[in-house]
Structure 1
Amino acid sequence: MRLLAVLWLSVGLVGCASTGSPQRSEEGLIDARAKISMGRCDTKLVADLRKHPVPELDQQAAYVCLQQGEVKAVEALLEDYQQRHVEPPHPDYSAYLLTLAQYARFEMAAEDDVLRLKEGRKLHAQFADFVRRFPDSDYRTEIAPRLHELLEGMAAAEYRLALTAAEAGDREGGRQRMDYVARYYPHTESGREARAWLERLQEE
């Protein structure tokens, strides 16, 4: 329910500007700073920061929310970071936190291989976009190990789907999927297992 509430905020509050009095604005920021310092992430925190543009607080709050697995809150705070703020600081850090949020989505789909592949493709695109947009960012060094984990996870999902197809009687569909794993994930554990599976199939 909390994630659904944050999703509503991410849609409903985009583009909103602060319309309250300076006193109310300061009260909202005081409350936001207090929650960040206590490591709390909730919908009011997101709403307060959407109303009162302070880019540094957006990033600090997004980090807190990410630690709690509140992916939609992270996205609500940072997806339009560069549009809501004028020349905001550290745009690469915001983009990096967004890739981590998508990585969390990928991990949360561990029990659903089809969904895992869907989220994995989105994450792969975000990794590529990050490297293209921020070639000199210090956070690039964090991308490589996560990209390796992503490819291993996607290959494993494809391999399981191939086995499921073959065991369900769709031997040709399973073979095609195994060939895809072996071809496009050659350096992963599942890629090696797919090649071995295909070799056994040829021997039959």
Structure 2
Amino acid sequence: MSLTTPTDLLDRLNWRYATKKFDSTKTIPADIWAALEESLVLTPSSYGLQPWKFLIVTNPDLKAQLQPLSWNQAQVSECSHYVVFTIKKNLTAEHVDHFVARTAEVRQAEPESLAGYRKVMVSDVVYGARSLSVNEWATRQTYIALGNFMTCAALLGVDTCPMEGIEPAKYDTVLGLPEKGYATVVACAAGYRSEDDKYATLAKVRFEKSEVIETL
């Protein structure tokens, strides 16, 4: 298998920035977008429970509804694909059972053989101490997906901008999430930078490595 070199990886991460202005005439090609969707699907999560759903917004009318709920940031409308990261609220034993059934299907195992694993998950996220803050836990899982998505996009030459400047509850209403049991956490615009986005040429500002990394 051909691996990305350390130099290539760092080049792509230095190329990446929070794009402030997208070229609205450019659309992410279907094959590249398909790979980015798979990167979302392949995101790791605690226990593998995947407590999320990713909503891909490309409809211009829907983008126009979301932009005023996003501090009126133009990236929402200008980008090619707008990803809304949501959590599945208040995980239940049924969700765990769904995951166990899927595991048995994919790995060609008997569901009964996973009974111990199911018990551990249910006793933690459904009935255990974690259940008291399970939506917060799910939110942290979703940020893993956001980081994974942005890194994969950079490797494929796609620009992104993570969007926390949004009104999640109002997003939920527009997207019809409450009746589906989901809630908005964060969003991410994806597409291609405009040639006149002044932020594209600014040097990255990071603390020295010695300040943020300590080897023990």
TM over 0.5, yes or no?
Answer: no
TM norm structure 2: 0.27
Higher normalized strand content (fraction of residues): 2
Higher normalized helix content (fraction of residues): 1
The structure with the larger Rg is 1
